[in-house]
Amino acid sequence: MANTSPLNLDFVRSQFPGLDRGWTFFDNAGGSQILKGALERINRFLIEKNVQIGGSYEVSQAAAGALYEARTAAMHLVNANRPEEIVFGSSTTALLQNLARAMQSQLTAGDEIIVTVADHESNIGTWDRLQERGIVLKMWPLDKESLTLELADLEPLMSERTRLVCVTHCSNILGSINPIREIADFVHARGAKICVDAVAYAPHRAVDVQAFDVDYYVFSLYKTYGPHYALMYGKYDLLLELDPLYHYFYGKDKVPGKLEPGNPNYELAYSTCGIVDYLTTLGEQAGETGTVRQKIVAAYGAITEQEYALTERLLAYLRSRNDCRIVGQPFNRDGDRVPTIAFRFDGRDAGELCKAMDAEKIAMRFGDFHSRRLAEYLGLTDHGSMLRVSMVHYNTIEEVDRFTAALDRILSGEAGLAKAG
Protein backbone atom coordinates (compact mmCIF):
# COMPACT_ATOMS: atom_id res chain seq x y z
CA MET A 1 0.00 0.00 0.00
CA ALA A 2 1.34 3.43 -0.91
CA ASN A 3 2.24 5.70 1.97
CA THR A 4 -0.38 8.46 2.03
CA SER A 5 0.38 9.47 5.61
CA PRO A 6 0.69 13.21 6.29
CA LEU A 7 3.81 12.30 8.24
CA ASN A 8 7.21 11.50 6.81
CA LEU A 9 7.23 8.04 8.37
CA ASP A 10 10.83 7.38 7.43
CA PHE A 11 11.82 10.45 9.42
CA VAL A 12 9.42 9.63 12.26
CA ARG A 13 10.69 6.09 12.69
CA SER A 14 14.31 7.24 12.48
CA GLN A 15 13.72 9.27 15.65
CA PHE A 16 12.91 6.18 17.74
CA PRO A 17 16.01 3.96 18.08
CA GLY A 18 14.05 1.09 19.62
CA LEU A 19 12.13 0.52 16.40
CA ASP A 20 15.24 -0.95 14.79
CA ARG A 21 15.20 -4.10 16.92
CA GLY A 22 12.85 -6.16 14.78
CA TRP A 23 9.73 -5.88 16.91
CA THR A 24 6.35 -4.40 16.10
CA PHE A 25 5.32 -2.44 19.18
CA PHE A 26 1.57 -2.58 19.70
CA ASP A 27 1.75 -2.06 23.46
CA ASN A 28 2.26 1.69 23.41
CA ALA A 29 -0.48 2.38 25.96
CA GLY A 30 1.75 0.48 28.36
CA GLY A 31 4.75 2.55 27.31
CA SER A 32 5.85 4.08 24.02
CA GLN A 33 9.32 3.95 22.53
CA ILE A 34 11.59 6.80 23.57
CA LEU A 35 12.71 9.55 21.24
CA LYS A 36 16.36 9.93 20.31
CA GLY A 37 16.07 13.61 21.19
CA ALA A 38 14.80 12.79 24.68
CA LEU A 39 17.74 10.44 25.21
CA GLU A 40 20.14 13.12 24.01
CA ARG A 41 18.72 15.62 26.50
CA ILE A 42 19.11 13.12 29.34
CA ASN A 43 22.73 12.46 28.39
CA ARG A 44 23.48 16.14 27.94
CA PHE A 45 22.25 16.94 31.41
CA LEU A 46 24.17 14.08 33.03
CA ILE A 47 27.39 15.01 31.23
CA GLU A 48 27.23 18.80 31.30
CA LYS A 49 24.99 19.82 34.24
CA ASN A 50 24.87 16.92 36.68
CA VAL A 51 24.85 18.91 39.93
CA GLN A 52 22.27 20.08 42.43
CA ILE A 53 20.39 23.27 41.62
CA GLY A 54 20.51 26.22 44.01
CA GLY A 55 24.26 26.83 44.01
CA SER A 56 25.94 30.08 43.06
CA TYR A 57 28.46 28.43 40.74
CA GLU A 58 28.07 28.29 36.98
CA VAL A 59 27.25 24.60 36.55
CA SER A 60 24.55 24.71 39.24
CA GLN A 61 23.05 27.75 37.54
CA ALA A 62 23.06 25.81 34.25
CA ALA A 63 21.28 22.89 35.95
CA ALA A 64 18.60 25.26 37.27
CA GLY A 65 18.28 26.74 33.80
CA ALA A 66 17.78 23.27 32.32
CA LEU A 67 14.98 22.52 34.80
CA TYR A 68 13.28 25.80 33.96
CA GLU A 69 13.69 25.02 30.26
CA ALA A 70 11.97 21.68 30.91
CA ARG A 71 9.04 23.38 32.62
CA THR A 72 8.82 25.85 29.75
CA ALA A 73 8.77 23.03 27.21
CA ALA A 74 6.01 21.30 29.19
CA MET A 75 4.14 24.61 29.35
CA HIS A 76 4.13 24.72 25.53
CA LEU A 77 3.20 21.03 25.35
CA VAL A 78 0.01 21.45 27.39
CA ASN A 79 -0.59 25.18 26.73
CA ALA A 80 -0.29 26.21 30.37
CA ASN A 81 -0.14 29.88 31.34
CA ARG A 82 3.29 29.74 32.94
CA PRO A 83 6.13 27.25 33.58
CA GLU A 84 5.38 27.20 37.32
CA GLU A 85 2.10 25.40 36.59
CA ILE A 86 4.10 22.26 35.72
CA VAL A 87 4.84 19.72 38.46
CA PHE A 88 7.14 16.78 37.67
CA GLY A 89 6.96 13.38 39.35
CA SER A 90 7.92 9.75 39.01
CA SER A 91 4.61 8.57 37.57
CA THR A 92 1.00 9.59 37.08
CA THR A 93 0.05 7.38 40.02
CA ALA A 94 2.58 9.09 42.29
CA LEU A 95 1.54 12.58 41.17
CA LEU A 96 -2.12 11.86 41.86
CA GLN A 97 -1.28 10.44 45.27
CA ASN A 98 0.80 13.55 46.00
CA LEU A 99 -2.10 15.73 44.89
CA ALA A 100 -4.44 13.92 47.28
CA ARG A 101 -1.98 14.43 50.15
CA ALA A 102 -1.57 18.11 49.29
CA MET A 103 -5.36 18.63 49.32
CA GLN A 104 -5.87 17.28 52.83
CA SER A 105 -6.31 20.66 54.55
CA GLN A 106 -9.02 21.53 52.00
CA LEU A 107 -11.10 18.46 52.78
CA THR A 108 -13.18 17.64 55.85
CA ALA A 109 -15.23 14.59 56.81
CA GLY A 110 -18.41 14.49 54.77
CA ASP A 111 -16.90 16.17 51.73
CA GLU A 112 -17.48 14.24 48.51
CA ILE A 113 -15.26 13.17 45.65
CA ILE A 114 -16.69 11.63 42.48
CA VAL A 115 -14.72 9.14 40.39
CA THR A 116 -15.75 7.18 37.31
CA VAL A 117 -15.92 3.45 36.89
CA ALA A 118 -14.21 3.93 33.50
CA ASP A 119 -10.94 5.22 34.91
CA HIS A 120 -7.54 3.66 35.41
CA GLU A 121 -7.08 2.68 39.05
CA SER A 122 -4.59 5.54 39.52
CA ASN A 123 -7.47 8.04 39.41
CA ILE A 124 -9.79 5.91 41.55
CA GLY A 125 -7.70 4.23 44.24
CA THR A 126 -5.95 7.49 45.11
CA TRP A 127 -9.24 9.10 46.10
CA ASP A 128 -10.80 5.90 47.47
CA ARG A 129 -8.17 5.86 50.23
CA LEU A 130 -9.48 9.20 51.52
CA GLN A 131 -12.58 7.40 52.78
CA GLU A 132 -10.43 6.48 55.78
CA ARG A 133 -10.54 10.21 56.66
CA GLY A 134 -14.31 10.45 56.28
CA ILE A 135 -14.39 11.61 52.66
CA VAL A 136 -17.41 10.23 50.78
CA LEU A 137 -16.56 8.56 47.46
CA LYS A 138 -19.22 8.38 44.76
CA MET A 139 -18.97 6.40 41.53
CA TRP A 140 -20.06 7.93 38.22
CA PRO A 141 -21.29 4.93 36.18
CA LEU A 142 -20.68 4.26 32.51
CA ASP A 143 -23.75 3.86 30.32
CA LYS A 144 -23.51 0.21 29.33
CA GLU A 145 -25.37 0.70 26.07
CA SER A 146 -23.46 3.66 24.66
CA LEU A 147 -20.27 3.00 26.67
CA THR A 148 -20.11 6.72 27.42
CA LEU A 149 -20.10 8.85 30.56
CA GLU A 150 -23.35 10.81 30.59
CA LEU A 151 -23.77 14.11 32.43
CA ALA A 152 -27.30 12.99 33.25
CA ASP A 153 -25.74 10.25 35.39
CA LEU A 154 -23.33 12.71 37.03
CA GLU A 155 -26.02 15.26 37.92
CA PRO A 156 -27.67 13.31 40.79
CA LEU A 157 -24.29 12.48 42.31
CA MET A 158 -23.27 16.11 42.79
CA SER A 159 -24.18 18.08 45.87
CA GLU A 160 -23.06 21.13 47.83
CA ARG A 161 -20.42 18.88 49.46
CA THR A 162 -18.87 17.77 46.15
CA ARG A 163 -15.29 19.04 46.08
CA LEU A 164 -13.72 17.17 43.16
CA VAL A 165 -14.72 15.16 40.10
CA CYS A 166 -12.04 12.81 38.74
CA VAL A 167 -12.30 11.53 35.20
CA THR A 168 -10.17 10.09 32.42
CA HIS A 169 -9.72 12.05 29.21
CA CYS A 170 -9.58 8.78 27.28
CA SER A 171 -10.21 5.22 28.42
CA ASN A 172 -7.25 2.88 28.08
CA ILE A 173 -9.69 0.07 27.29
CA LEU A 174 -12.51 1.71 25.32
CA GLY A 175 -10.23 4.11 23.44
CA SER A 176 -12.98 6.73 23.45
CA ILE A 177 -12.30 10.41 24.13
CA ASN A 178 -14.43 12.10 26.77
CA PRO A 179 -15.69 15.69 26.25
CA ILE A 180 -13.53 17.20 28.98
CA ARG A 181 -14.48 20.85 28.43
CA GLU A 182 -18.17 19.98 28.62
CA ILE A 183 -17.58 18.01 31.81
CA ALA A 184 -15.40 20.78 33.28
CA ASP A 185 -18.09 23.41 32.62
CA PHE A 186 -20.71 21.18 34.24
CA VAL A 187 -18.54 20.54 37.30
CA HIS A 188 -17.45 24.17 37.73
CA ALA A 189 -21.03 25.41 37.46
CA ARG A 190 -21.77 23.31 40.55
CA GLY A 191 -18.84 24.63 42.53
CA ALA A 192 -16.46 21.68 42.28
CA LYS A 193 -13.05 21.14 40.70
CA ILE A 194 -11.99 18.60 38.07
CA CYS A 195 -8.94 16.31 37.98
CA VAL A 196 -8.19 14.59 34.66
CA ASP A 197 -6.04 11.52 34.01
CA ALA A 198 -4.76 12.09 30.47
CA VAL A 199 -2.34 9.16 30.21
CA ALA A 200 -4.25 7.52 27.35
CA TYR A 201 -4.92 10.83 25.57
CA ALA A 202 -1.69 12.84 25.57
CA PRO A 203 0.26 10.65 23.09
CA HIS A 204 -2.46 11.08 20.47
CA ARG A 205 -3.93 14.59 20.55
CA ALA A 206 -2.76 18.11 21.33
CA VAL A 207 -3.35 18.95 24.98
CA ASP A 208 -4.77 22.40 25.71
CA VAL A 209 -5.41 22.81 29.41
CA GLN A 210 -6.66 26.36 28.95
CA ALA A 211 -9.22 25.33 26.34
CA PHE A 212 -10.26 22.34 28.49
CA ASP A 213 -10.46 24.61 31.61
CA VAL A 214 -9.24 21.75 33.79
CA ASP A 215 -7.99 22.29 37.32
CA TYR A 216 -5.51 19.41 37.44
CA TYR A 217 -4.31 17.40 34.45
CA VAL A 218 -1.82 14.52 34.70
CA PHE A 219 -0.07 12.18 32.26
CA SER A 220 3.01 10.01 31.84
CA LEU A 221 5.98 11.02 29.70
CA TYR A 222 6.95 7.40 29.17
CA LYS A 223 3.75 6.92 27.20
CA THR A 224 4.34 10.18 25.35
CA TYR A 225 7.74 9.34 23.80
CA GLY A 226 9.90 10.11 26.82
CA PRO A 227 11.49 8.26 29.78
CA HIS A 228 9.69 6.76 32.77
CA TYR A 229 8.51 10.05 34.24
CA ALA A 230 5.33 12.14 34.44
CA LEU A 231 3.99 15.66 34.75
CA MET A 232 1.00 17.35 36.29
CA TYR A 233 -0.52 20.66 35.30
CA GLY A 234 -2.40 22.66 37.90
CA LYS A 235 -3.90 26.12 37.75
CA TYR A 236 -1.42 28.37 39.51
CA ASP A 237 -3.88 29.77 42.05
CA LEU A 238 -4.92 26.22 42.97
CA LEU A 239 -1.33 25.05 43.33
CA LEU A 240 -0.76 27.93 45.77
CA GLU A 241 -3.58 26.59 47.96
CA LEU A 242 -2.16 23.06 48.20
CA ASP A 243 -0.30 21.87 51.28
CA PRO A 244 3.51 21.68 50.95
CA LEU A 245 4.89 18.15 50.65
CA TYR A 246 8.51 19.21 51.06
CA HIS A 247 10.45 20.55 54.06
CA TYR A 248 8.72 22.84 56.57
CA PHE A 249 10.51 25.89 55.21
CA TYR A 250 8.95 25.32 51.76
CA GLY A 251 5.94 27.60 52.22
CA LYS A 252 2.66 27.47 50.34
CA ASP A 253 3.91 30.07 47.89
CA LYS A 254 6.89 27.94 46.75
CA VAL A 255 5.23 26.61 43.59
CA PRO A 256 5.84 24.08 42.15
CA GLY A 257 8.81 23.03 44.31
CA LYS A 258 6.67 22.38 47.40
CA LEU A 259 4.94 19.58 45.46
CA GLU A 260 8.19 17.90 44.33
CA PRO A 261 9.66 16.42 47.55
CA GLY A 262 13.35 15.65 47.12
CA ASN A 263 13.28 17.74 43.95
CA PRO A 264 12.33 16.39 40.53
CA ASN A 265 14.62 14.11 38.58
CA TYR A 266 16.43 16.79 36.62
CA GLU A 267 17.62 14.76 33.66
CA LEU A 268 14.26 13.07 33.10
CA ALA A 269 12.44 16.38 33.35
CA TYR A 270 14.94 17.83 30.86
CA SER A 271 13.95 15.12 28.36
CA THR A 272 10.66 16.99 27.91
CA CYS A 273 12.62 19.46 25.80
CA GLY A 274 13.48 16.64 23.39
CA ILE A 275 9.81 15.67 23.08
CA VAL A 276 8.84 19.25 22.26
CA ASP A 277 11.75 19.60 19.82
CA TYR A 278 10.47 16.55 17.94
CA LEU A 279 6.87 17.78 17.82
CA THR A 280 8.07 21.19 16.70
CA THR A 281 9.94 19.57 13.82
CA LEU A 282 6.84 17.58 12.82
CA GLY A 283 4.84 20.79 12.85
CA GLU A 284 7.39 22.49 10.61
CA GLN A 285 7.28 19.51 8.23
CA ALA A 286 3.50 19.96 8.14
CA GLY A 287 4.04 23.56 6.96
CA GLU A 288 3.53 25.47 10.21
CA THR A 289 5.84 28.48 10.59
CA GLY A 290 4.37 30.07 13.71
CA THR A 291 5.08 29.71 17.42
CA VAL A 292 6.28 26.60 19.20
CA ARG A 293 2.74 25.99 20.39
CA GLN A 294 1.30 26.35 16.88
CA LYS A 295 3.86 23.84 15.60
CA ILE A 296 2.90 21.38 18.33
CA VAL A 297 -0.76 21.68 17.34
CA ALA A 298 0.13 21.14 13.67
CA ALA A 299 2.21 18.09 14.60
CA TYR A 300 -0.69 16.52 16.43
CA GLY A 301 -2.93 17.24 13.47
CA ALA A 302 -0.67 15.10 11.30
CA ILE A 303 -0.37 12.49 14.06
CA THR A 304 -4.17 12.27 14.34
CA GLU A 305 -4.55 11.68 10.61
CA GLN A 306 -1.98 8.88 10.63
CA GLU A 307 -3.56 7.27 13.67
CA TYR A 308 -7.03 7.51 12.15
CA ALA A 309 -5.86 5.31 9.29
CA LEU A 310 -4.31 2.79 11.68
CA THR A 311 -7.43 2.67 13.83
CA GLU A 312 -9.82 2.11 10.96
CA ARG A 313 -7.57 -0.55 9.39
CA LEU A 314 -7.63 -2.67 12.54
CA LEU A 315 -11.27 -2.01 13.40
CA ALA A 316 -12.32 -3.00 9.89
CA TYR A 317 -10.57 -6.35 10.30
CA LEU A 318 -12.07 -6.99 13.73
CA ARG A 319 -15.55 -6.02 12.51
CA SER A 320 -15.22 -8.55 9.69
CA ARG A 321 -14.92 -11.47 12.10
CA ASN A 322 -18.09 -12.93 13.56
CA ASP A 323 -16.18 -14.41 16.49
CA CYS A 324 -14.80 -11.10 17.77
CA ARG A 325 -16.19 -8.60 20.25
CA ILE A 326 -14.67 -5.13 20.08
CA VAL A 327 -14.71 -3.54 23.53
CA GLY A 328 -15.78 0.02 22.80
CA GLN A 329 -17.06 1.72 19.68
CA PRO A 330 -16.46 -0.46 16.59
CA PHE A 331 -16.20 2.61 14.34
CA ASN A 332 -13.98 5.68 14.52
CA ARG A 333 -16.61 8.28 13.77
CA ASP A 334 -15.26 11.83 13.61
CA GLY A 335 -11.92 10.69 15.02
CA ASP A 336 -13.43 10.29 18.50
CA ARG A 337 -11.32 7.20 19.15
CA VAL A 338 -7.59 6.79 19.66
CA PRO A 339 -5.79 3.68 18.31
CA THR A 340 -6.09 1.83 21.62
CA ILE A 341 -8.31 -1.11 20.79
CA ALA A 342 -9.39 -3.90 23.15
CA PHE A 343 -11.19 -7.01 21.94
CA ARG A 344 -12.07 -10.64 22.70
CA PHE A 345 -12.60 -13.78 20.66
CA ASP A 346 -15.42 -16.17 21.52
CA GLY A 347 -14.24 -18.99 23.74
CA ARG A 348 -10.56 -18.11 23.37
CA ASP A 349 -8.23 -17.26 26.22
CA ALA A 350 -6.76 -13.79 25.74
CA GLY A 351 -3.51 -14.74 27.46
CA GLU A 352 -2.90 -17.72 25.20
CA LEU A 353 -3.54 -15.66 22.07
CA CYS A 354 -1.30 -12.86 23.27
CA LYS A 355 1.56 -15.22 24.10
CA ALA A 356 1.22 -16.88 20.70
CA MET A 357 1.80 -13.45 19.17
CA ASP A 358 5.15 -13.23 20.99
CA ALA A 359 6.62 -15.67 18.49
CA GLU A 360 5.64 -13.26 15.71
CA LYS A 361 7.70 -10.52 17.44
CA ILE A 362 4.56 -8.45 17.85
CA ALA A 363 4.33 -6.87 21.29
CA MET A 364 0.81 -6.47 22.65
CA ARG A 365 -0.92 -7.07 25.97
CA PHE A 366 -3.81 -8.89 27.62
CA GLY A 367 -5.65 -8.40 30.89
CA ASP A 368 -7.55 -5.47 32.39
CA PHE A 369 -4.73 -2.90 32.01
CA HIS A 370 -5.17 -1.59 35.58
CA SER A 371 -8.73 -0.55 34.75
CA ARG A 372 -10.05 -3.52 36.68
CA ARG A 373 -13.21 -1.85 37.91
CA LEU A 374 -14.26 -1.18 34.32
CA ALA A 375 -13.47 -4.76 33.29
CA GLU A 376 -15.55 -6.05 36.21
CA TYR A 377 -18.36 -3.58 35.49
CA LEU A 378 -18.57 -4.81 31.88
CA GLY A 379 -18.22 -8.49 32.85
CA LEU A 380 -14.95 -8.96 30.97
CA THR A 381 -12.71 -10.64 33.53
CA ASP A 382 -12.98 -14.27 32.37
CA HIS A 383 -10.79 -15.97 29.73
CA GLY A 384 -7.82 -13.72 30.48
CA SER A 385 -10.01 -10.62 30.17
CA MET A 386 -9.10 -8.76 26.94
CA LEU A 387 -6.52 -8.45 24.21
CA ARG A 388 -5.33 -4.92 23.48
CA VAL A 389 -3.51 -3.41 20.53
CA SER A 390 -2.38 0.12 21.28
CA MET A 391 -0.75 2.00 18.43
CA VAL A 392 0.82 5.42 17.99
CA HIS A 393 1.82 7.47 14.97
CA TYR A 394 5.10 5.65 14.32
CA ASN A 395 3.20 2.43 13.66
CA THR A 396 2.36 1.60 10.04
CA ILE A 397 -0.44 0.10 8.00
CA GLU A 398 1.98 -2.68 7.04
CA GLU A 399 2.43 -3.56 10.70
CA VAL A 400 -1.35 -3.73 11.15
CA ASP A 401 -1.62 -6.05 8.16
CA ARG A 402 1.18 -8.25 9.49
CA PHE A 403 -0.61 -8.45 12.82
CA THR A 404 -3.97 -9.41 11.33
CA ALA A 405 -2.36 -12.05 9.11
CA ALA A 406 -0.61 -13.53 12.14
CA LEU A 407 -3.85 -13.44 14.12
CA ASP A 408 -5.65 -15.30 11.33
CA ARG A 409 -3.01 -18.04 11.48
CA ILE A 410 -3.12 -18.27 15.27
CA LEU A 411 -6.92 -18.39 15.43
CA SER A 412 -7.10 -21.05 12.74
CA GLY A 413 -4.53 -23.16 14.53
CA GLU A 414 -2.00 -22.96 11.70
CA ALA A 415 0.60 -21.25 13.88
CA GLY A 416 0.33 -23.94 16.50
CA LEU A 417 0.50 -26.72 13.90
CA ALA A 418 3.50 -25.13 12.24
CA LYS A 419 5.25 -24.87 15.61
CA ALA A 420 4.42 -28.46 16.48
CA GLY A 421 5.65 -29.62 13.09
- Return the CATH architecture of domain 10-33+292-413: Alpha-Beta Complex (3.90)
pLDDT category at 334 given cuts 50, 70, 90 is confident
Buried b (16+ CB within 10 A) or exposed e, 261-279: eeebbbbbbbbbbbbbbbb
Does the pLDDT value for residue 1 go beyond 90? no
- Give the per-residue pLDDT at 414: 56
Cβ-contact 42, 227 below 8 angstroms: yes
How does pLDDT run across 5-21, given as a tens digit for each residue? 689 999 999 999 999 99
Give residue limits of the domains in the chain. Answer: 10-33+292-413, 38-276
pLDDT category at 384 given cuts 50, 70, 90 is confident
Residue 335's Cβ-count burial label (10 Å; 0-12, 13-18, 19+) is middle
For 271, the 3-state DSSP assignment is: helix
CATH number of 38-276: 3.40.640.10
Q: What pTM value is reported for the model?
A: 0.95
Beta carbons within 8 Å of 374's beta carbon, 6+ residues apart = 117, 118, 119, 142, 171, 173, 174, 368
Helix (H) or strand (E) holding 387: strand 386-390
Mean pLDDT of 35-57: 98
Cβ-contact 15, 36 below 8 angstroms: yes
For helices 58-78 and 292-320, angle between their N-to-C axes, nearest 10 degrees:
50
Q: What is the mean pLDDT of the chain?
A: 95
Task: State what percent of residues in the chain have pLDDT above 90.
Answer: 94
